[in-house]
């Protein structure tokens, strides 16, 4: 556990460092993908900035909506507070801002969604390393298994002597695998299907790991993140089903390679 490191006398939050690294890695992947598709690589930095801005705005606004009773007396102050972010709000806000950017650049097609799939998975995987280093409370339930861990020095510490499921590690491994799989499929599936696969796989990963976490049950025996994950899985599955019924397959003819139309 290392919530903070000292760099030449300057205290730096490890979560913030991993957050920045996640966007840098996502930008590097997007840069390569843009070049593969014959588009300017520099657009990656514009898209990542749009995703960062939209993600922060969306994550913050959704947190405020979910905690209106706590911030009702100072909504404006809460907007600019340094705490309170909701991951799915960040995904929605980031996606919206990137769509606006793509529309401005004249490239708002299904391929834009596909190009976001690997960066989303990879960025999330790296971000969970930040959760692990900072011990921010994303760990799981009490457990005394062979790789159980305690977070006594975390920003949200565990009780003295308590060990739990290190769920941030589980998610980093799972999301890293998802990122690798999506990257290998980037030229093998029809436009839009890579993003749909991300919805299904990322939703399934979050749905399963939540069974080990400490979040409260919200409805149907599931937590709020699990209900959100179900929505992702269903949305992605419907998307893939529509493509399959329209084309008879979600995969591309290998002879077509990258020269494919959006639709």
Residues 6+ apart with CB under 8 A from 69: none
Domain annotation covers residue 261:
no
Q: Whole domain around residue 136: which residue ranges? A: 4-187
Domain annotation covers residue 237:
no
pLDDT at 85: 62
pLDDT at 8: 75
pLDDT at 73: 56
129: exposed, middle or buried (Cβ count in 10 Å: 0-12, 13-18, 19+): buried
Domain annotation covers residue 45:
yes
pLDDT at 89: 76
pTM: 0.84
* Cα 18 to Cα 131: distance, rounded to the nearest angstrom: 9
pLDDT at 263: 41
Instruction: Tell which residue, 174, 250, 177, 182, has the closest CA to residue 33.
Output: 182
- From the first residue on, what is the mean pLDDT of each consecutive set of 10 residues in the chain (263 residues)? 74 82 91 92 90 83 70 51 62 86 88 90 91 88 93 89 94 96 94 95 95 88 90 96 92 58 41
pLDDT at 5: 75
Domain annotation covers residue 199:
no
Which residues lie across from 217 on neighbouring strands? 223
Domain annotation covers residue 217:
no
Domain count, the chain: 1
* Angle at alpha carbon of residue 234, lines to 262 and 27, rounded to 5°: 50
Domain annotation covers residue 163:
yes
Domain annotation covers residue 224:
no
């Amino acid at each position: 556990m290392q919530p903070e490191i000292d760099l030449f006398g300057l205290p730096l939050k490890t979560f913030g460092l991993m957050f920045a690294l996640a966007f840098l890695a996502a930008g590097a992947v997007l840069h390569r993908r843009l070049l593969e598709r014959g588009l300017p690589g520099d657009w990656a930095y514009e898209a990542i900035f749009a995703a960062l801005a939209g993600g922060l705005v969306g994550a913050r606004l959704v947190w405020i909506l979910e905690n209106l009773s706590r911030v009702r007396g100072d909504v404006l102050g809460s907007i600019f507070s340094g705490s309170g972010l909701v991951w799915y709000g960040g995904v929605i806000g980031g996606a919206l801002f990137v769509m606006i950017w793509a529309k401005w650049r004249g490239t708002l097609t299904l391929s834009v969604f596909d190009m976001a799939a690997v960066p989303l998975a990879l960025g999330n995987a790296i971000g969970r390393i930040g959760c692990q280093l900072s011990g921010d409370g994303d760990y799981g339930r009490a457990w005394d298994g062979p790789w159980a861990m305690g977070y006594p020095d975390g920003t949200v510490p565990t009780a003295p002597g308590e060990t739990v499921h290190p769920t941030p590690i589980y998610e980093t491994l799972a999301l890293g695998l998802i990122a690798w799989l999506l990257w290998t499929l980037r030229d093998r599936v029809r436009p839009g299907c890579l993003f749909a696969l991300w919805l299904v796989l990322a939703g399934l990963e979050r749905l399963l790991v939540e069974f080990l976490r400490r979040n409260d049950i919200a409805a149907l025996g599931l937590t709020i993140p699990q209900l959100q994950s179900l929505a992702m899985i269903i949305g992605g599955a419907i998307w893939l089903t529509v493509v399959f019924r329209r084309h008879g397959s979600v995969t591309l003819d290998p002879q077509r390679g990258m020269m494919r139309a959006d639709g």
